[in-house]
Amino acid sequence: MKLTLKVWRQANATAQGEIKTYPLDGVSPDMSFLEMLDLLNEQLVTQGEEPVAFDHDCREGICGMCSLMINGEAHGPEVTTTCQLHMRSFSDGDTITIEPWRADPFPVIKDLVVDRSAFDRIIQSGGFISANTGSAPEANSVPAPRDKAMRAFNVATCIGCGACVAACPNGSASLFLGAKITHLGELPQGQPERWSRVVDMVGQHDHEGFGGCTNIGECASACPKEIPLDVISQLNKDLRTAMKQGL
pLDDT tens digits along 42-93: 999 999 999 999 999 999 999 999 999 999 999 999 999 999 999 999 999 9
Mean pLDDT of 9-29: 97
Q: What φ, ψ does residue 69 adopt, rounded to 5°?
A: -90, 120
Q: What's the pTM?
A: 0.93
Domain ranges of the chain: 3-110, 116-128+143-244
Confidence of residue 138 (pLDDT cuts 50, 70, 90): confident
**pLDDT higher than threshold 80 for residue 133:** no
176 in helix, strand or coil? helix
List, for residues 205-234, the tens digit of each pLDDT value: 999 999 999 999 999 999 999 999 999 999
List, for residues 155-210, the tens digit of each pLDDT value: 999 999 999 999 999 999 999 999 999 999 999 989 999 999 999 999 999 999 99
pLDDT on residue 11: 97
Fold of 116-128+143-244: Fumarate Reductase Iron-sulfur Protein; Chain B, domain 2 (1.10.1060)
List, for residues 87-125, the tens digit of each pLDDT value: 999 999 999 999 999 999 999 999 999 999 999 999 999
Q: How far apart are CA 231 and CA 213, in angstroms?
A: 12
**pLDDT higher than threshold 90 for residue 137:** no
**pLDDT higher than threshold 90 for residue 4:** yes
pLDDT on residue 96: 98
Q: How far apart are CA 173 and CA 195, in angstroms?
A: 19
pLDDT on residue 142: 78
Specify the CATH architecture of the domain 3-110.
Roll (3.10)
Mean pLDDT of 240-246: 92
Q: How far apart are CA 194 and CA 59, in angstroms?
A: 34
The alpha carbon dihedral of 29, 67, 101, 162 has a sign of positive
Q: How far apart are CA 245 and CA 239, in angstroms?
A: 10
239-247 long-range contacts, CB within 8 A, separation 24+? 239/198, 239/199, 239/202, 241/195, 242/195, 242/196, 242/198, 242/199, 243/199, 245/195, 247/195, 247/196, 247/199
CA neighbor of 17 nearest in space, from 161, 119, 113, 116: 113
**pLDDT higher than threshold 80 for residue 139:** no
Which strands sit side by side in the sheet containing 95-99, from one edge to the other?
18-24, 3-9, 95-99, 69-70, 73-74
pLDDT on residue 209: 97
pLDDT on residue 243: 94
